[in-house]
């Protein structure tokens, strides 16, 4: 019995000794890792402090605003006035995205690119809007069909006039842009394109002829007008008031002098289908 008790005491002592040795062996590794982390933290803090000091040293007031672009509708003074409030923040702290938004909010500015120019300047590159058509009395649409000016002071007289209910600017512009090239190839030019409240389309040519297209199958009627009708009436444009394409297999002509239409101008018209 005494031998068994002695064996148990020795076994417990051995286990405690092993645990003590393991615990003691962990401390040097812990302190080593702690010193490594401390060195890394100190290095990171030093780098951040250096960057902060460098940023502070470079963040001098913006003294120069250079503006680049082909200016026809936008004046450099307008651009400079839009940039100046943001330039007060400093060369490094000026928010370029905010500057870009402020410049692009100017009328006739389509895109703006902003960059820093060492040591104390900002460079602003401008792309102006290209007006493709008028909208109503004094609005202007760009080549993407976007209404970018609602009340233009100077509206180019040569631009076609588009109109329609509120919110249809893009729809009317896209139809115009999809047709104008083909009309020019056929020797005609669209002077106006209208969409009324009922959804009916109508276009005026620069020779004074109005083409009524109705509400249905508008693209097919435009194709028929370009390929067939325009050739039939080519020699009588000065005598024609309108051409009505709202027929399933033909068209009708409204003469300026309906009492004496020109001879040889045969026109086929069937039941109208607005």
Q: What is the largest CA-CA distance in the chain?
A: 144
Q: Which residues contact 171 (CB under 8 A, 6 or more apart)?
A: 164, 195
pLDDT digit string, tens, across residues 205-219? 999 999 999 999 999
Decide if pLDDT at 174 tops 80.
yes
Structural domain span for residue 143 = 131-255
Whether residue 149 lies inside any domain: the answer is: yes
- Where a domain ends, among 9, 24, 58? 58
pLDDT: which is higher, 4 or 69: 69
Looking at the structure, do residues 143 and 189 belong to the same domain, yes or no? yes
CATH number assigned to the domain comprising residue 160: 3.40.50.11690
What pLDDT score does 7 carry? 41
Looking at the structure, do residues 143 and 235 belong to the same domain, yes or no? yes
Give the rounded distance of the alpha carbon of 198 from its chain centre.
Answer: 30
Which strand (E) or helix (H) includes residue 179? helix 169-185
List own/partner pairs for 127-131 with CB under 8 A and 24 or more apart.
127/69, 128/69, 128/70, 128/71, 128/72, 128/73, 128/74, 129/73, 131/156, 131/159
Across 64-73, 106-115, 208-217, least confident range: 64-73
pLDDT: which is higher, 9 or 101: 101
Distance CA 189, CA 160 (A): 9
Helix (H, G, I), strand (E, B), or coil: what is residue 222? helix
Whether residue 270 lies inside any domain: the answer is: no
Looking at the structure, do residues 101 and 197 belong to the same domain, yes or no? no
Looking at the structure, do residues 110 and 196 belong to the same domain, yes or no? no
Distance CA 92, CA 37 (A): 32
> Phi, psi at residue 167, to the nearest 5°?
95, 0
Tally of domains within the chain: 3
Let me know: does 81 contact 124? Beta carbons within 8 Å. no
CATH number assigned to the domain comprising residue 117: 3.10.20.310
Helix (H, G, I), strand (E, B), or coil: what is residue 219? helix
Q: Is 102 exposed, middle or buried (0-12, 13-18, 19+ CB in 10 A)?
A: buried
Across 5-14, 131-140, 151-160, least confident range: 5-14
Q: pTM for this structure?
A: 0.69
Looking at the structure, do residues 104 and 88 belong to the same domain, yes or no? yes
Q: Given pLDDT bands bounded at 50, 70 and 90, which one contains residue 3?
A: very low
**Which residues share a beta bridge with 135?**
139, 162
Nearest alpha carbon to residue 228 among 250, 206, 211, 247: 250
The angle at the Cα of 147, spanning 160 to 81, to the nearest 5 degrees, equals: 120
Looking at the structure, do residues 87 and 198 belong to the same domain, yes or no? no
Looking at the structure, do residues 211 and 247 belong to the same domain, yes or no? yes
Q: Does residue 268 come out as left (phi exceeding 0), alpha (psi in the -120 to 50 range) or beta?
A: beta
Let me know: does 168 contact 197? Beta carbons within 8 Å. no
What pLDDT score does 16 carry? 52
Residue 148 CB coordination number (10 Å) = 18
Nearest alpha carbon to residue 270 among 245, 238, 241: 245
Looking at the structure, do residues 163 and 227 belong to the same domain, yes or no? yes
């Amino acid at each position: 019995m005494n031998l068994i008790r002695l064996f148990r005491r020795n076994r417990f002592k051995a286990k405690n000794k092993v645990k003590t040795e393991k615990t003691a062996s962990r401390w040097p590794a812990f302190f080593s890792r702690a010193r490594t982390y401390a060195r890394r933290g100190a290095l990171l803090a030093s780098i951040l402090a250096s960057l902060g000091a460098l940023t502070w040293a470079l963040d001098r007031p913006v003294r120069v605003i250079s503006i680049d672009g082909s200016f026809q509708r936008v004046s450099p003074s307008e651009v400079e006035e839009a940039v100046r409030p943001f330039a007060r923040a400093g060369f490094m702290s000026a928010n370029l995205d905010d500057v870009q938004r402020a410049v692009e909010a100017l009328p006739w500015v389509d895109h703006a690119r902003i960059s820093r120019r060492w040591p104390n300047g900002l460079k602003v590159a401008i792309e102006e809007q290209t007006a493709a058509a008028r909208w109503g009395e004094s609005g202007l649409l760009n080549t993407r069909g976007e209404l970018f000016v609602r009340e233009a002071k100077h509206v180019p007289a040569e631009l076609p006039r588009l109109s329609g209910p509120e919110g249809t600017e893009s729809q009317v512009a896209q139809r115009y842009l999809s047709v104008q090239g083909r009309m020019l190839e056929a020797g005609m030019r669209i002077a106006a394109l209208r969409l009324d409240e009922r959804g009916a389309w109508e276009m005026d040519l620069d020779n004074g002829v109005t083409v009524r297209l109705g509400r249905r199958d508008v693209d097919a009627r435009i194709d028929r007008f370009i390929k067939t009708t325009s050739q039939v009436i080519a020699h009588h444009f000065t005598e024609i008031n309108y051409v009505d394409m709202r027929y399933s297999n033909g068209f009708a002509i409204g003469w300026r002098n309906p009492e004496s239409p020109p001879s040889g101008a045969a026109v086929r018209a069937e039941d109208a289908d607005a």
